[in-house]
Amino acid sequence: LIIILIWHCFGRPRPATNGMQEKNSVSHISSYSISVFAVGLFVGVLLDIFFPMRFMTEPLNQFIGLALVVLATMVIYSAEKHGEKYSQKRKNANVCNIDDFTNGPYKYTRNPKYLGLSFLLIGLGLILNTPFIIGTSIVSGIIVNIYFLKKEEALLEERHGELYKEYKSKVRKWL
């Protein structure tokens, strides 16, 4: 169920403005990178089923996990809303400035959706007390960072030029 929700909210390819999905668009690359997190969750659950292992016994991990899930939900929701506003503004005016990049969660991280997904999966791992979900979420974040974020950022630099380079110099990739 969680995998379906993640895919529905973030992983499905969205059509470009001309109604066709561009293979080298940021949303196309995002759909695959979000899938990496979904696969990581699936693998973590499978590993936990076949090799059950618990690493904490205190309820503190569940409290921390719940706090991470709530934080992740807020970050992802805020990033989605900010992204919708930016897309609408860009569609109407076809112009952007540095303030468009540095509002909402994008003020603190260039990748709030991925950061939120990492927090969400780590929080679930803490709530369920399984190191496999935590481990696979970290591995998923590393894969996304190494492979997909380089492509996304290259496309954004190509699309926005110096404006995006200035944004990159001011805001960290993760935290």
pTM: 0.81
User: Which of 7-16, 82-91, 92-101, 149-158 has the lowest average pLDDT?
Assistant: 7-16
* Tens digits of residue pLDDT in 83-124: 787 777 767 666 666 676 778 898 899 999 999 999 999 999
Instruction: List alpha helices for the chain, DSSP H.
Output: 2-6, 26-50, 60-93, 98-101, 112-128, 131-143, 149-160, 162-170
| Closest by Cα among 39, 69, 33, 11 to 150 | 33
